[in-house]
Amino acid sequence: MKKIWFLILFVPVLFSCSDNDTNNNNPYIPNFTVNFTIDMNLPAYSNLKYVSNGVIVPGYGAKEGIIVFNAGNTYNAFDTACPNQELSSCVAMKISGINAVCSCDEAQYSLFTGLGGKKYPLKQYRVEVRGTIIHVYN
């Protein structure tokens, strides 16, 4: 009888767990290895110390860089490739306030969530912060 109660209580808990990993399965953006650090004490990245500011770090990702954004209590990193367009058809996205804007269709994506109302969200990378050092990787 104890085993039955254990199963009744345990099985719902098992299925209620969720995976917090970001789904980066996008047919338009290949998976590139990304692994770099930036120091917010450097002038080029000092804006990242303040909420709702972002910078583009060139030389990484599928397009011309990675957007790193201060979202308040966390930092987000997104590829500058337009997520709903062929890789070769658009130039890299630009930052416009708290959004990233695609050059092909002018679609806007929130830098807080990566969502933009289209099929695919922005391709996101992992971020780890240690003091003033931001480590971006996948």
**Band of residue 18 on the pLDDT scale cut at 50, 70, 90:** very low
Find the domain containing 124 and state its range: 25-137
Count the domains in the chain: 1
Read off the CATH number of the domain in which 83 is found: 2.102.10.10
Do 6 and 16 form a contact (C-beta atoms < 8 A)? no
Is it the case that residue 26 has pLDDT exceeding 80?
Answer: yes
**For residue 56, is it within any domain?**
yes
**For residue 93, is it within any domain?**
yes
Is it the case that residue 119 has pLDDT exceeding 60?
Answer: yes
**For residue 6, is it within any domain?**
no
What is the pLDDT, as a whole number, of residue 101? 97
**For residue 10, is it within any domain?**
no
Q: Please tell me the pTM assigned to this model.
A: 0.81
Q: How far is CA 114 from its chain centroid?
A: 6
β-partners of residue 67 are: 56, 78
